[in-house]
Amino acid sequence: VVAIRAQDDLADAESGVGWSAGATAGYGWLLADDALLLRFGAGAQYWAFETDHAGLSGVYPDVDIIVGYGF
């Protein structure tokens, strides 16, 4: 759950509340003597955000690309 503030195509800036949830599946590799983590994933998220005069909701694609340190 997040607080949002929007102005695009609106006369004045508006505030509201939104939320999202999703799932991602992927695969990861430990490289360079098991010290470097490289991970890729794809999935979908449902977004629902609304102000008094505007909003959006629906399912959107999700892509994760993660580089990190493995320990």
Query: Per residue in 20-48, pLDDT tens?
Result: 999 999 999 999 988 999 999 999 999 99
Q: How far is CA 71 from CA 26, 27, 35, in A?
A: 20, 17, 7
Residue 5 has pLDDT above 90, yes or no: no
Residue 10 has pLDDT above 70, yes or no: no
Query: pTM for this structure?
Result: 0.62
Query: What single letter denotes the amino acid at residue 25?
Result: A
Total domains in the chain come to 1
Q: Which domain holds residue 16?
A: 2-69
